[in-house]
Amino acid sequence: MSDRIKQAWDLVEPVAEIPEKQKWAWLDARTAAKKYAENKGFSKAAFAREVGIPAATFSEWWSGKYRGDYGKTTEAVSQFVENQRAFEQTEMRIPDDLDYVETPTSQKVMSALQFAQAMPEMVVIVLGAGMGKSITVRKYQENHSHTYLATMRPTTATPGTMLNEIGLSMGIFERSVSLRERAIGERVQRNGRKPLLIIDEAQNLNDNAVNQLRHFLDIYQCGIALIGNEELYTRFGGTKPKAAYAQINRRIGMRVRQMRPSKKDIDVIVDAWGIEDEDACKMLRLIGSKPGALSQISKTVRLAHMLAMGSGGLVNAELIRAAWSNRGGEEL
């Protein structure tokens, strides 16, 4: 925090007469606000925005020049600081989610992406919900140059909206669709490099949009990876494609489809959490076989850690069962 901001938070004597019954609460709230703001590096205006109070109102309240209801503003400030402390204490109890963990399935995804980038080829990768496809492709992008990742949604189904989303992920802001397409093409053109365009949630694209991606493969020699759910595989992943999709399917060089995690996948994720209680680990392996797969394990462990704060901090089978039940899971 700069010296100027620190000076702005100096406690001063009030100018206006504050009702006695509100004065002590006001003084406590000012002290709490000052401590919180200094820890966060907030100016008065920034703190006021966080609380949801007009900056001018907060400044007058702080300096004791306020002509309005001190009680209402004091309560808002006090409640905000108290809530933030509670949030921070909760966050301290819950461990961060796992970063990328290499599982047998993630290795398959990595291999398919490397194949698409090196050849170049188009690949289709379909994993069940909660199996870590998105974090895997993000990890691949981090570790490989000339790799571009764009995530689709229902509103980016058409070629134009898809190109806009891809362009934004590349920092390309051309308004004209044709100029945007050309700018993207120039960015992903092979020219001695090995570019890869990864399209996550590709099931949201219509057929014309996918054909536009085929154009990038054919003209610019850019590897294409279509990542998505079972709907994507039904359209473009089957070994006996519909005639309407022949142009796409004959360009697909590899298909990866796995709708459930393997036993080894589950074991790797459970081990990564470092739970020592063997009965708890058995429950987590069972949870990993449920819909939602590997993400169910992580969400349950994080909640169990929060519940464990009242029982010595150790996660055991009882807490795993309670966390799973609190998340709406059926009886294990």
Specify the CATH number for the domain of residue 220.
3.40.50.300
Same domain for 150 and 271, yes or no, is no
Q: What is the mean pLDDT of residues 239-256?
A: 74
Confidence at 21, pLDDT banded by 50, 70, 90: confident
| Domain final residue pick, 58, 93, 128 | 93
The pLDDT value recorded for residue 162 is 97
pLDDT bracket for residue 64 (50, 70, 90): confident
- pLDDT, residue 191, reads 83
**pLDDT digit string, tens, across residues 74-110:** 999 999 999 998 878 766 667 888 999 999 999 999 9
pLDDT level of residue 188 (50, 70, 90 thresholds): very high
Contact 254, 98 (CB under 8 A): no
- The tally of domains found in the chain comes to 3
In terms of domains, do 221 and 238 share one? Answer: yes
CA dist., res. 133 & res. 216, Å (int): 23
Strands (E) located in 97-240 = 122-127, 147-151, 196-200, 223-228
Question: What's the DSSP call for residue 19?
Answer: P
Domain that holds residue 36: 3-93
Same domain, 145 and 237: yes
Average pLDDT, whole number, for the chain?
89
Residues contacting 43, CB < 8 A, separation 6+: 5, 8, 37
pLDDT above 70 covers what percent of the chain? 89
* CB neighbour burial string for 245-277, b if at least 16 within 10 angstroms, e if fewer: beebbebbbbbbebeebeeebbbbbbebbebeb
User: 122 and 244: one domain?
Assistant: yes
Same domain flag for 199 and 168: yes
Q: What pLDDT does residue 272 have? A: 96
Asked if residue 252 and residue 138 are part of one domain, the reply reads yes
Task: Identify the CA nearest to 227 among candidates 122, 104, 143, 298.
Answer: 122
CA distance 219 to 197: 14
| 189 neighbors 198 (Cβ within 8 angstroms) | no
Q: What mean pLDDT do residues 159-168 have?
A: 96
Q: Read off the pLDDT of residues 27-59 as tens digits, 9 standing for 90 and up.
A: 899 999 999 998 888 999 999 999 999 999 999
Residues 6+ apart with CB under 8 A from 286: 332
Confidence at 274, pLDDT banded by 50, 70, 90:
very high
> 11, exposed or middle or buried, with CB in 10 Å at 0-12, 13-18, 19+?
exposed
End of a domain among 45, 68, 93? 93
The model's confidence at residue 203, banded by pLDDT at 50, 70 and 90, is very high
pLDDT at 13: 65
Instruction: Please tell me what DSSP assigns to residue 69.
Output: -
pLDDT tens figures, 205-246: 999 999 999 999 999 999 999 999 998 888 876 656 555 566
pLDDT of residue 293: 87
Q: Supply the pLDDT for residue 266.
A: 97
Say what the alpha-carbon torsion angle 185, 187, 193, 197 is, to the nearest 10 degrees: -70
Q: How far apart are CA 316 and CA 280, in angstroms?
A: 5
Report the pLDDT value the prediction gives residue 244, as an integer from 0 to 100. 56
Rg (CA), the chain: 27
Q: How far apart are CA 332 and CA 328, in angstroms?
A: 11
Residue 122 bridge partners (DSSP): 224, 252
Indicate whether 205 and 133 sit together in one domain.
yes
Q: pLDDT tens-digit profile of 3-14?
A: 555 555 666 666
